Structure formats: C-alpha cells, structure tokens
Chains A and B, each alone.
Chain A
Amino acid sequence: MSPTQELVNPHSRRRFLAVGGGSTALAAFLAACGSDSDSSSTGTTAMSSGGGTSETAEFGKGDVGILNYALTLEYLETAFYADVVKSGLFKGADLETIRKFGREEAEHVQALTQAVKSLGGRPAPEPKTEFPLESAKSVLELAATVENLGAAAYLGQAANIESPEVLASALAIHSVEGRHAAALNTLLGKTITPDGAFAKPADVKTVLKSVEPFIVG
C-alpha cells in the first residue's frame, strides 16, 4: 500500500466512524450472522487505518483500485457470456437469460469504466480470456461459480470503499450479481443461498486465483 493511501480523505465516509463500540458491534453482528471473521476481508485491525486497503493495490490506489478490480471481473463475465452465446449450446429461454446477463455485465463494464475516469484514474485493460465450453451443464456450472464469486468479490470490497457515491454504485451492481447467481443456482437445482441467510465475502486473492485459469493474457 502506498503511504499516500493513509491520508484521510475529507470526503470519506469514515469520518463519520463512531470511535467507540465498533469492534464489539462487529463481533456481535458477525456472531449473529454465523460468519467466521477470519474469512472476512475486512479485519477489525483495518478500522483505524483510515484509508483503503492494499488488497487491490495492483489495480490502483484506493477506490480506483477497487473499481478496477471490479472492472476486471466484469470484463471477464462479459467475455464469458459472449462466448457462451456464440457456442450454440443454449436455445430458447436459457439463451435469453444468458444474453440478458451478458448485456447487464457489459453495462457494469461501462459504468465502472466511467467511474474510474471520473475519479481521475486509468481504467484497467480488458483481459484476454478463454473459457472451457464443453456442455450446457458444465457451462451453467461455470456461470454459477463465476457469478457467486463475483457477488462475493463485491461484498468483500464494500467496506473498503471510501466514497459514498462509489459505494452506492458498487452496491447497485453487487445485488444484481447476487440475482444472477441465484438464478443460475436455480437452473442447476442448487440452493439460492449457499452461504445461508448471510452472504459471505471473498478476498481479492481468492477471487483472482479462481479466475486465473480463464485469463490468457
């Protein structure tokens, strides 16, 4: 992490941070949620750091880094759905769903690109991708994996976002990824809520490792 990230942003949501009781409340909430705090990407120790996280540093500083990380995942999802449409493995209603989801991911790409630019950052480049498209079933399973991971990736970053505007936008995307994930799980006959009543976040390392096999350059 760059030392400049430690600077306190005057427009930060964090300036509202209650000084006392935060960690206790966290423990209670996470306990109530049945969540394992070790699996959370937002450790309590980060609470006093006041700015960003090194997790997405390779994508840029602060919110730009988080947005570029999300942009990379959205590029990947968009390319995936485009390849699936071209594969000819789907027809009818399922094909329409895939087209629709693909269009929505493309809108996320556009929105995130604009957001990075509006923060004065340079949008991450589109990765070259390749996906195994063997059968309708395996493709649906991959789609579900990618969407569940995407939703978890957004959730993992929500609390790291400084700007309330960027946070609101990320949340508006996050829940759509959750909808996609649930729809695909339904198509596969799997539960819509694999984590139970409280969705779990995924950290950057886990997410990038999972998508690595599909990025070829």
Chain B
Amino acid sequence: MTAKSAEQQTRSEVLAKGALAVGSIYGAMAVGPFVRRALGAMGGSDVDILNFALTLEYLEAKFYAEAKTRAKPKGELKSLVNLLAEDEQQHVEALTATIKQLGGKPVAEPKFDFPYSGTAGFLRLAQTFEDTGVSAYNGAAPMLESKEVLAAAGGIVQVEARHAAAIRLQNGAESAPAAFDTPLDEKQVLKAVEPFLA
C-alpha cells in the first residue's frame, strides 16, 4: 500500500476523512457518552433516522451506478462495482418501502457530484463512503425505537461493512483497520457527505 500525499487528495476527501477521524476518538466501550449525547440531541423518529440512512444510500447507489462506466473498472473490480451498485439500490428500495409503511414520506434523491477521476480516484472515494456508511448506521441504530427496524438496519450495516472491507482490499489497505467501527452522529455524517451534494 502506498501512502497518499495530501496533494493527491481532493478537498472533499479530506473533509470526509476529517469527519471520520472525529468518530475514531470513541474507542472500545467508550461509546456510551456518545450515545447519551446523541440520544439527547436527536429527537428524530424512526422515519427521520431512516430518511437519513436513505440519503446515504442514494449517494452510494448513484456513486456506484455512475462508476460502472466512469471508474473504468476491469476484471474483479468490475464484478465488485456491479455487486455494490446492486446492493445499494436494494437498500434504497427497502428503506423507501419501510418509510412508507411507517407512514412517513421518503426524502427525494439529492443531486450528487463526485469529484474523482480514474479507477484509483474512485477507489479512494469508495473507501471513504463505505467506512462513513458503517459509522453512520452504527451511530444511528441505537436511536431506533422499533427493534424490528433495528434488526433490519443491522442487516444493512453488516453489508456496508463487507463492502468497506472489499473496497479496502482493492485499495491495498487493511480490511478492518480497527477492532471497533466507531459511531458517527448525524451532524458528523452530514459534514462528510455535504461536499458531494451538487
């Protein structure tokens, strides 16, 4: 694995990674204070939380759909991009259906702009998105009221973690860099995602 200089990273990547780094200060079982604070700060209903997740899934689904051609993936990576695109699209559909079932209104898909070029640029951004996605679900899931929705969200976050590991291996990075995937709160995640909203 080659270390990247800051010059090679886009500003968006740096911003997104900064948000992730904030999350990484929560080690081991020290996530308790985070949860208490988030519970206090987040008055969100399950629909709000699911809409938050839906926005992230829209981003990922669009990112991979576009990458099928734009990232010029070949061989093994091509299959991986197709798999990820399909999984994220299924997440979008499942979340949309659940929000409707809960009597909520699914958020509209935002317009995205992904600043990368080439396969390497795609992979770097993909790693950031997948790691952020894992931490976002891990941060939001304890706030869910319905345990059924929680169980389903757990089934999604595990798949995001699997994606993250696979993308990291493509990058020559460690598949599981730390023993704990630390949670991010909604503000931190939105900060990470904001640079990609067109």
Contact = CB atoms under 8 A, between A and B. Distances in A.
A207 interface: no
B13 to A, nearest CB: 21
A201 B31 contact: no
Chain A interface category by residue count: 35 or more
Contacts of B46: 18
Interface stretch (A20-28, A55-63, A81-89, A132-140): A20-28
Q: What's the dominant secondary structure at chain A's contact region?
A: helix
A9 interface: no
Interface string A95-122: 0010011011101101100110010000
A26 B90 CA distance: 17
Contacts of A17: 145-147
Interface residues of B, number: 62
At the interface, is chain B mostly helix, strand, loop or mixed? helix
Contacts of A181: 162
Interface in B133-161: 134, 137-139, 141-143, 145-152, 154-161
In this complex, the member of B87, B88, B138, B161 whose beta carbon has the largest number of chain A beta carbons within 10 angstroms is B161
B154 A155 contact: yes
Contacts of B34: 168
A167 B141 contact: yes
A154 B155 CA distance: 10
B146 A180 contact: no
Contact of B145 (A18, A108, A176): A18
A47 to B, nearest CB: 7
Contacts of A173: 179-180
A172 B155 contact: no
Contacts of B94: 29, 32-33, 197-198
Contacts of A100: 174, 176
Interface of A: 13-14, 16-18, 21-26, 28-33, 35, 40, 42, 44, 47, 97, 100-101, 103-105, 107-108, 110-111, 114-115, 118, 151, 154-155, 158-160, 164-165, 167-169, 171-176, 178-183, 186, 191-193, 195-201
